[in-house]
């Protein structure tokens, strides 16, 4: 497979997964406003901090109000990780590999792009924001469903799978890292409806609320962290994402699982083993922020290694055509 093709498929998947996550985060905050008619400036600030571009946001938009954050993350064409920029970049990557992906995949991403463009051309004013963000999320999930159902599970599929899983693991770690400390209640708030609403919102941010309740029933911050980090069977848990990315990297190289033939496989294998043999008590004792920060650093290293091994002819150079924003 040409490195250009592999890179386009990998980033196509990352951008679509990124857009879906952003749409879900915003939608959860909008619903939270209905459940809790209080000052939610911390919640909107948290979404900006998830991007890692809070200084850039502050220079252009000032305060993190609902309107400013929504416009920044949705329709700001100058911001490379807004929904409109992600879908545009995903579409360009998909267009360049039309001969590799299925026609159903192309039609899906093209339809989503045209829909978002239409909304942007209307001035970005959403008469029904919940409908808009639901459609972005559903369309993104449908794209990946079509990818699994209509695309041969060969090298190209595995590159897209690696991109999707690395992006998903990164976003789960970031939203948990930032919102965990915002949501840590005072002693008087523990177990109150106020406390439960906020922790439920965190679970909804990862589409994890129903599956969490099936396993744990009662909302507890320690169990929430355990579920989102260490679950091996929940598809948005960090451990599950790392396992799937690890399997696809081995499928690409042809090496046996449990071994490694390159730096990307070594780093993700070490991360996979660490998650497999870690308990939530170990993580809390180490410090949740420190642990999640370490995961984000290792994910960044894996992404750089994949770039150097498969995408560029000059290892160590910057990504040639794609952005590492929100990495």
Query: pTM to 2 decimals?
Result: 0.90
101, 151 in Cβ contact below 8 A? yes
Could you read off the pLDDT tens digit of each residue along the chain, which spans 327 residues?
A: 789 999 999 999 999 999 999 999 999 888 877 666 555 667 788 888 888 888 889 999 988 888 999 999 999 999 999 999 999 999 999 999 999 999 999 999 999 999 999 999 987 788 889 999 999 999 999 999 999 999 999 999 999 999 999 999 999 999 998 877 666 655 455 555 666 787 888 899 899 999 999 998 888 888 999 999 999 999 999 999 999 999 999 999 999 998 999 999 999 999 999 999 999 999 999 999 999 999 999 999 999 999 999 997 554 444 444 444 443
Domain boundaries, the chain: 3-311
**Closest CA relative to residue 184, chosen from 68, 47, 46:** 46
Tokens of 247: 């399997």
DSSP for residue 318 = P
Residue 201, Cβ neighbours under 10 Å: how many?
20
First to last CA, the chain: 25
């Amino acid at each position: 497979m040409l490195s250009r093709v592999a890179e386009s498929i990998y980033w196509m998947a990352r951008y679509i997964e990124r857009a879906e996550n952003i749409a879900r985060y915003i939608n959860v905050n909008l619903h939270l406003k209905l459940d809790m008619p209080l000052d939610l400036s911390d919640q909107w600030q948290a979404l900006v901090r998830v991007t890692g571009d809070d200084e850039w946001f502050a220079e252009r938009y000032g305060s993190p109000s609902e309107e400013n954050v929504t416009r920044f993350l949705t329709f700001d064409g100058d911001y490379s990780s807004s929904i409109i920029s992600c879908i545009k970049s995903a579409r360009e990557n998909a267009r360049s590999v039309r001969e590799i992906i299925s026609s159903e995949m192309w039609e899906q991403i093209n339809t989503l792009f045209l829909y978002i463009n239409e909304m942007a051309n209307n001035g970005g004013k959403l008469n029904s924001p919940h409908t808009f963000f639901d459609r972005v999320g559903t369309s993104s999930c449908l794209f990946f469903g079509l990818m699994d159902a209509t695309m041969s599970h060969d090298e190209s599929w595995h590159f897209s799978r690696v991109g999707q899983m690395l992006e998903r693991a990164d976003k789960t770690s970031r939203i948990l890292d930032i919102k965990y400390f915002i949501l840590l209640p005072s002693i008087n708030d523990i177990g109150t409806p106020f406390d439960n609403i906020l922790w439920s919102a965190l679970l909804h941010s990862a589409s994890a609320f129903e599956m969490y309740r099936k396993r744990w029933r009662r909302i507890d911050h320690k169990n929430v962290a355990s579920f989102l980090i260490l679950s091996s069977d929940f598809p948005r848990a960090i451990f599950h994402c790392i396992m799937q990315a690890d399997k696809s990297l081995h499928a690409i190289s042809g090496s046996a699982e449990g071994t490694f033939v390159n730096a990307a496989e070594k780093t993700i294998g070490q991360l996979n083993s660490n998650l497999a043999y870690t308990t939530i008590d170990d993580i809390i004792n180490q410090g949740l922020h420190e642990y999640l920060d370490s995961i984000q650093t290792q994910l960044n290293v894996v992404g750089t290694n994949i770039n150097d091994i498969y995408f560029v002819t000059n290892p160590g150079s910057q990504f040639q055509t794609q952005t590492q924003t929100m990495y």
